[in-house]
Chains A and B, each alone.
Chain A
């Protein structure tokens, strides 16, 4: 490292400046993600009645499983919040513990979602059955991909936390991750309402 030519304080100042910029960039990235999901929602709403003789949401969706998924994801959002509180209390191990819980909840969410998809496919409701199902699988699947990416991301972050502890950089990374995770929760609430609740009505 070629940092010896400036004092640690100066270097820390530069790092903090950059980290705050990265936070802003991440917020703007989330704006683009909002538009991404907005476009998928619009597509779904337009195509929801185009079932082309195939099954519709009323026949396919089983609320108990979906409600379980919802509770699991909401809880994981809560546990990721506890992890951030632990970070502010400077407790690395507590943080990692709550992040592991978050990742496990995320994994069980994904497991339930995939089993739901598999069940639908076995009932003959595939992505190529109708425009409605194309839109359904793509919209819900995109959210699922986001959650999976989040799980991979948080695993990488936990290793870094173990290695470097709570620094300006890891702090920013965890804050961004929890922002992302809460965002996915918000998207899920819209999914739950627009796709499942209205779907079974």
Chain B
């Protein structure tokens, strides 16, 4: 019996590596610390009522933000481990198997558990406020989306210490990801972690599309919407068309692994190439899904910090919609070298290059907005300015890669690695950080410190170029991706060493940002006006942080840059008409989202290990939760006028 338990434990827990022991210890310590603090300060009830069961979009946004910053740390540590291993030839720091696991989880986590939730954080924190709404279309579903993402992410992260991580690359190409190539549980963790959080992402896409279509303030026509809201709109449309493909692709891979089917196997008539087509039919739109909101953020910031209406509003909207459509016609450029005919390659080369046109339009519009503007350079603007050159280089190398014949040289080389990090860090990460700095005072009521932030910016920015520019040359010099070590005679040592220095500079930048947040919580400049940047859109018309009903009275959205318009009117002595307060209709909190997501987690964990009893009980739990929710009719309440008046008075607003 004891031997059996020992065998099981040896199989179940990942052991034998100091890094993993370190992770074990830190997981245990952090858990103990959290439990202790919550118990000591008697915060369990508060945590449950105010956060874990909340359906308030602002709080959900904050939870997304915290989770995504944690995942940025986790994915960043993976990156630093890889760069340490590659700093010099023949370093015995990581074993090949371990290196495979780390580059897999790095990619998966950064795209799906860092970029996506940070994007959803900004959706939640900003969109309802920007369109003058009190909530999203489906607050309950919104909470469910968050918890599905969170527990999906936890499931994938658990693989590091239990059972073993996936190691077939971030998109898990078969046959490597098939049972024959990855017999362990790592690949199951990958499938279930992404599947569970993917359902949440799809629901968020639907939720925000309907929010934008149906909940805009009176008078706000579609072509009067702020550009960030437009970018969310185009992203949601792309999510709705792309994510079902991912759901099916992962499900088919799981059916292959679990039921011995032959979709993508090398035998039984399966076609691995089918998987690669399917995954990129989701995967390529996915990169536009994460970049489009960044474009929206830059548009808001450039207009605000140049004190001008955005240049070419209509062309901005048009460009974003074109990008989200074109994104579905480019997927084959990920496998130009894998045997398609010249005609097919040419079609996808041209459609890929075509995306540079609307993107170029946007960059010119930002530059023209800045032209003769009264520019102030604060944190958000700084990151926007850092983004432009970075994205130009990334875009140019992207067009180089899009030339199908030339791609035979770049394919799977470090040139490619450099390109996509250039657009994903320079575009997405810089964009979302700019957005975080921009809207932080709105959500938290204080600004993040400028001085520490500027240091962090330069460390990130310089570190970025030091890290990735050498990789273009390494790629042209023949270094391929996914190699875990190389020898001295390749001549790659010095460029790799420089690249590693750059990675650590970025890591230092991240640590400074953590310090910036900690420092600013205590000493950051308080935002008493609700409008710290002299903003243009409706979210700046209410106090910071906003009351949980957002707007005491429904704002008027009939002018472009609605809040700027009100401010101009006030300056001219024209007061907006007084509006009567009415009781405010709000959704009630619910425990179902977190409980249902926990059952999904249990189901995912069970199927990962092939324990059907556990997987099926998890699914039954999910069904029970669905029934419970379906039978709940008492889902809303009203905030009386007196309470609204009191809350507003407390925030210094007389209504």
Q: Which A residues have a C-beta under 8 Å from some C-beta of B? A: 1-3, 5-6, 10-11, 14, 21-22, 24-25, 28-29, 31-33, 35-36, 39-40, 43, 46-47, 50-52, 127-132, 134-135, 137-138, 152, 156-157, 159-160, 164, 169, 173
- Supply 13 A–B pairs (Cβ within 8 Å), ascending by A: A14-B636, A21-B138, A24-B214, A28-B210, A35-B241, A36-B247, A43-B274, A47-B269, A128-B260, A134-B262, A134-B268, A138-B255, A164-B633
Within 8 A of A (CB), among B448-464: none
Chain A residues near B263 (CB-CB < 8 A): 43, 47, 131, 134-135, 138
Top-6 shortest CB links A-B: A50-B269, A131-B269, A134-B261, A128-B260, A52-B269, A35-B244
Q: Report whether A25 and B267 are in contact in the complex, using a CB–CB cutoff of 8 Å.
A: no
Tell yes or no: B169 within 8 A of A by CB.
Answer: no
Q: A36-B244, A36-B247 are in contact. Are A128 and B583 (CB under 8 A)?
A: no
Complex Cα gap A135–B240 (Å): 24
Complex Cα gap A137–B630 (Å): 31
Q: Report whether B269 and A25 are in contact in the complex, using a CB–CB cutoff of 8 Å.
A: no
Complex Cα gap A47–B264 (Å): 10
Complex Cα gap A31–B274 (Å): 23
Q: Report whether B623 and A130 are in contact in the complex, using a CB–CB cutoff of 8 Å.
A: no
Q: Report whether A131 and B268 are in contact in the complex, using a CB–CB cutoff of 8 Å.
A: yes
Which B-chain residue is minimally distant from A129 (CB atoms)?
A: B268
Chain A residues near B630 (CB-CB < 8 A): 156-157, 160, 173
- A107–chain B nearest beta-carbon distance, Å: 17
Complex Cα gap A47–B255 (Å): 15
B207, B630, B634, most chain A CB atoms within 10 A: B630
Q: Which of A31, A132, A160 contacts B240 (CB 8 A)?
A: A31
- B113–chain A nearest beta-carbon distance, Å: 22
Chain A residues near B265 (CB-CB < 8 A): 131
Tell yes or no: B585 within 8 A of A by CB.
Answer: yes
Q: Report whether A25 and B138 are in contact in the complex, using a CB–CB cutoff of 8 Å.
A: yes
Q: Report whether B260 and A127 are in contact in the complex, using a CB–CB cutoff of 8 Å.
A: yes
Chain B residues near A21 (CB-CB < 8 A): 137-138, 210, 214-215
Chain B residues near A164 (CB-CB < 8 A): 633
Q: Which of A5, A128, A132, A173 contacts B638 (CB 8 A)?
A: A5
Q: Report whether B261 and A24 are in contact in the complex, using a CB–CB cutoff of 8 Å.
A: no
Q: Report whether B245 and A25 are in contact in the complex, using a CB–CB cutoff of 8 Å.
A: no
Q: Report whether B255 and A134 are in contact in the complex, using a CB–CB cutoff of 8 Å.
A: yes
Complex Cα gap A151–B252 (Å): 25
Q: Report whether B206 and A32 are in contact in the complex, using a CB–CB cutoff of 8 Å.
A: yes
Q: Report whether B252 and A138 are in contact in the complex, using a CB–CB cutoff of 8 Å.
A: yes
Complex Cα gap A137–B585 (Å): 47
Q: Report whether A32 and B240 are in contact in the complex, using a CB–CB cutoff of 8 Å.
A: yes
Q: Report whether A127 and B261 are in contact in the complex, using a CB–CB cutoff of 8 Å.
A: yes
Within 8 A of A (CB), among B431-463: none
Contact with A along B101-127 (1 / 0, CB 8 A): 000000000000000000000000000
- B128–chain A nearest beta-carbon distance, Å: 13
Chain B residues near A10 (CB-CB < 8 A): 583
| Contact-residue bracket for chain B | 35 or more
Contact with A along B613-655 (1 / 0, CB 8 A): 0000000000100010011011011101000000000000000
Q: A22-B138, A32-B206, A134-B262 are in contact. Are A52 and B267 (CB under 8 A)?
A: yes
Known: A25-B206, A33-B244. 15 other contacts (CB 8 A): A3-B637, A5-B638, A28-B240, A32-B244, A35-B241, A39-B248, A39-B278, A127-B255, A128-B262, A131-B263, A134-B270, A135-B263, A152-B623, A156-B630, A156-B631
Complex Cα gap A11–B206 (Å): 25
- A25–chain B nearest beta-carbon distance, Å: 5
- B207–chain A nearest beta-carbon distance, Å: 7
- B28–chain A nearest beta-carbon distance, Å: 40
Chain B residues near A130 (CB-CB < 8 A): 262, 268-269
Chain A residues near B241 (CB-CB < 8 A): 35
- B123–chain A nearest beta-carbon distance, Å: 16
Q: Report whether A127 and B585 are in contact in the complex, using a CB–CB cutoff of 8 Å.
A: no
Chain A residues near B634 (CB-CB < 8 A): 1
Tell yes or no: B259 within 8 A of A by CB.
Answer: yes
Q: Report whether B583 and A6 are in contact in the complex, using a CB–CB cutoff of 8 Å.
A: yes
Q: Report whether B633 and A169 are in contact in the complex, using a CB–CB cutoff of 8 Å.
A: yes
Complex Cα gap A21–B240 (Å): 17
Which A-chain residue is minimally distant from B260 (CB atoms)?
A: A128
Chain A residues near B240 (CB-CB < 8 A): 28, 31-32, 35
Which B-chain residue is minimally distant from A156 (CB atoms)?
A: B630
- A121–chain B nearest beta-carbon distance, Å: 12
Which B-chain residue is minimally distant from A49 (CB atoms)?
A: B269
Q: Report whether A3 and B260 are in contact in the complex, using a CB–CB cutoff of 8 Å.
A: no
- A186–chain B nearest beta-carbon distance, Å: 17
Which B-chain residue is minimally distant from A131 (CB atoms)?
A: B269
Tell yes or no: B213 within 8 A of A by CB.
Answer: yes
- B270–chain A nearest beta-carbon distance, Å: 5
Q: Report whether B262 and A52 are in contact in the complex, using a CB–CB cutoff of 8 Å.
A: yes
Q: Which of B243, B251, B636 contacts A32 (CB 8 A)?
A: B243
Q: Report whether A2 and B637 are in contact in the complex, using a CB–CB cutoff of 8 Å.
A: yes
Q: Which of B269, B633, B640 contacts A132 (CB 8 A)?
A: B269
Complex Cα gap A79–B637 (Å): 37
Tell yes or no: B271 within 8 A of A by CB.
Answer: yes
Tell yes or no: B202 within 8 A of A by CB.
Answer: yes
Q: Report whether B261 and A25 are in contact in the complex, using a CB–CB cutoff of 8 Å.
A: no
- A33–chain B nearest beta-carbon distance, Å: 7
Q: Which of B210, B251, B262, B583 contacts A131 (CB 8 A)?
A: B262
- B592–chain A nearest beta-carbon distance, Å: 15
- A8–chain B nearest beta-carbon distance, Å: 12
Tell yes or no: B209 within 8 A of A by CB.
Answer: yes
Complex Cα gap A1–B637 (Å): 7
Chain B residues near A129 (CB-CB < 8 A): 268
Within 8 A of A (CB), among B373-417: none
Complex Cα gap A102–B579 (Å): 51
B244, B627, B634, most chain A CB atoms within 10 A: B244
Which A-chain residue is minimally distant from B213 (CB atoms)?
A: A24
Chain A residues near B270 (CB-CB < 8 A): 47, 50, 131, 134
Q: Which of A35, A127, A128 contacts B245 (CB 8 A)?
A: A35
Which A-chain residue is minimally distant from B267 (CB atoms)?
A: A52
Chain B residues near A5 (CB-CB < 8 A): 583, 638, 640
